[in-house]
Structure 1
Amino acid sequence: MTISPTPTRDHDTVRAVQWQGDRLRLLDQRLLPGEERWIDCRDAAAVTQAIRDLVVRGAPAIGIAAAWGVVLAAQQGQSLDDVLVMLRAARPTAVNLMWALDRMKARIAAGADAAALEREAQAIQDEDLAANRHMGELGAALIAPGSGVLTHCNTGSLATAGYGTALGVIRAGVAAGRIHRVYAGETRPWQQGARLTMYELVRDGIPAQLIADSAAAHLMKSGAVQWVIVGADRIAANGDTANKIGTYQLAIAAKYHGVKFMVVAPSSTVDMATATGEEIEIELRDPAELLATAGRRTVVDGAQAWNPVFDVAPAELITAIVTERGVIERPDAIAMQAMFGS
């Protein structure tokens, strides 16, 4: 099934999370770019499984999907306390999941019925899209005209309500004529950069080149890149940032080569209750994901693997954190508290 382009702004045509009134329709991101298949989740258990199995991925999109899972449970008269626990356990690192569920829980505690919960979930989704557009403008304004950028994993419309976080900055930067060269790392082992980011960039007419993850430092040395732009799954109170595995080594290489490093994420990704990155739980997934490609084993039988999904880039390696609330340059605990403290 082909995705119908959405008439919004230039370079933004994908909507991967779609509420249908009595079910949640998700574009199965495990099959892209080879096949565009939609999955209909008709209950909260199906939404939970879709989050766990990476049908839907990207911190904001996970939170949005979970909110709709609560709506389905309310429509079907399920125990919402049990459903909240089930959904919360689907992925441990992305704080947006917990944030969205806490927001739904507060509405439940206030006596919201299924219709009110549906309005709340829609508000979460609409607010994310608006935040992404604003972050795109803020982040693009930091980039000098004629720049080259490198991004990691997928942070676009597939990972959000639309437009994207880091990819939203790239979209805005390209539209404004500030970004002239875009590079995407492949992002092993699930190859979100190769499969998903390149899919979005090509689909929306943004010229880009794919690189092997291991080519990033060499690319920076060449002078072709002035910014690394990434998303986040959790930002600690001191600015340390958890993101897709491989982000930390990009931050180190960028610092060495004098390349600026931008983290782009909505304020729902900021976790002021987590003091530093050392406290962030790093999800470990099945080692088999590293031992195979597209379901076919590529490593000798008997080999072992270690498969962390995220790592943490220390705040001192980050040039700027961009959220819809504003930009924090040279982030630290004081600057984070000033913008996000209660």
Structure 2
Amino acid sequence: MSNAVNPIIWDRNRLRLLDQRLLPAEVVYLDCLTAKDVAEAIHGMAVRGAPAIGIAAAYGLVLSVQKEHDSFARASEVLAASRPTAVNLRWALERMRGIWLRTPTVEALEKEAIAIHDEDLAQNLKMGELGADLLPSNASVITHCNTGALATGGHGTALGVIRSGYARNRITRVYNTETRPWLQGARLTAWELQQEGIPAQLLADGAAAHLMSREKIDWVIVGADRIAANGDTANKIGTYMLAVAAKRHGVKFMVVAPSGTFDLRCRTGAEIPIEERTAKELTEFRGQMIAPVGYDAFNPVFDVTPAELIDAIVCERGVILNPDADKLNALLG
């Protein structure tokens, strides 16, 4: 899948982003020529997934300097404001800023953006193996949102563990949630799993607890957009609900994310900013009203899962079982 479909293509003077809002019905690429174009693609959900957002933002800074439409500082501000919860975005921008301060050239920025992209793929492959090591034989798992090749530099985080686990004959069944309101699970994860030939079934978000009560589920495996210093984890809305249900039914809960997702300056999940989006994402679907006209809605994009509900955090540096602040600090320094 990661070879057949490449959601992020760098073409020297433009960034081509697979418009994930149109999948699986259409495969259309957006050509981004400026940092503003990239920021709009990120905010508009054409590109999504914390690692992919960071990669796209790094290339956006290259475009800002290359085409001289924006100053580096101004482009950084525009990109940082596009999705405030995803720490990978800020991490990538700060890494690019360090390069710019030392070597303020387009060539140096481009080299660093490509390195961020390549490193993400390598990290995902490593996390896939580490996470697969935790799985029993003939495992049944649940995953939420989309954390595959479409959300990363390739292979995926949580879905990368599932890919690796299936390749090692450790997974026999995957249940992927719809992930409302954007339906990333139904549109994107289901598509990736189908392309890989991995046995899977679509699961309504509200049906997960019922499934856990009726079927043997071994792990819930999810990604993350930010992990606080104590192990509290922000991820797609609905993750916290899955973690509570998993704890109730004795199902283990795994978070898979690269080290760039950890924010050790953020002490607990209470300090993680939670993005809220327009009510129209709930009251409308592709322009069609599904709620009364003028009806308001509470639409947070993320929620925070407390560390005590998490059995394992997997990153490319290793595995943290029953995470807490001391264990995170020991692994990440």
TM tier, shorter chain?
over 0.9
Name 1:10's counterpart in structure 2: none
TM-score, structure 2 as length reference: 0.98
Deviation at 1:6, TM superposition (A): 5.8
Q: Does structure 1 residue 20 correspond to structure 2 residue 15?
A: no
Q: Deviations over 1:81-121 (max 9, x none)?
A: 11111111111000000000000000000023101110000
On the 8 A contact 1:14/1:162 being kept in 2, the answer is no
Cα distance in 1 for partners of 2:2, 2:187 equals 21
Superposition misfits of 4+ residues, deviation over 3 angstroms: none
Superposition map of 1:30-179 within 5 A: 30-77=21-68, 78-179=70-171
Q: Deviations over 1:58-78 (max 9, x none)?
A: 000000000000011111133
Superposition map of 1:313-332 within 5 A: 313-332=305-324
Deviation at 1:206, TM superposition (A): 1.3
Superposition map of 1:185-264 within 5 A: 185-264=177-256
Q: Deviations over 1:192-240 (max 9, x none)?
A: 0000100111122212100100100011112331100000000000000
SS at match of 1:268: helix
Name 2:286's counterpart in structure 1: 294
The CA RMSD over aligned residues, in Å, is 0.9
SS at match of 2:295: coil
Cα distance in 2 for partners of 1:53, 1:269 equals 21
Unaligned runs of 5+ in 2: none
Letter in 2 for 1:43: T
Which sits farther off after the overlay, 200-209 or 130-139?
200-209
Q: Deviations over 1:92-151 (max 9, x none)?
A: 000000000000000000023101110000000000000000000000000001010000
Q: Deviations over 1:238-260 (max 9, x none)?
A: 00000000000100000000000
Letter in 1 for 2:308: E
Paired positions, count? 332
- Once the two structures are aligned, what percentage of the paired residues are identical? 60
Cα distance in 2 for partners of 1:27, 1:116 equals 25
Cα distance in 2 for partners of 1:140, 1:15 equals 24
Cα distance in 2 for partners of 1:304, 1:191 equals 20
Letter in 2 for 1:157: A
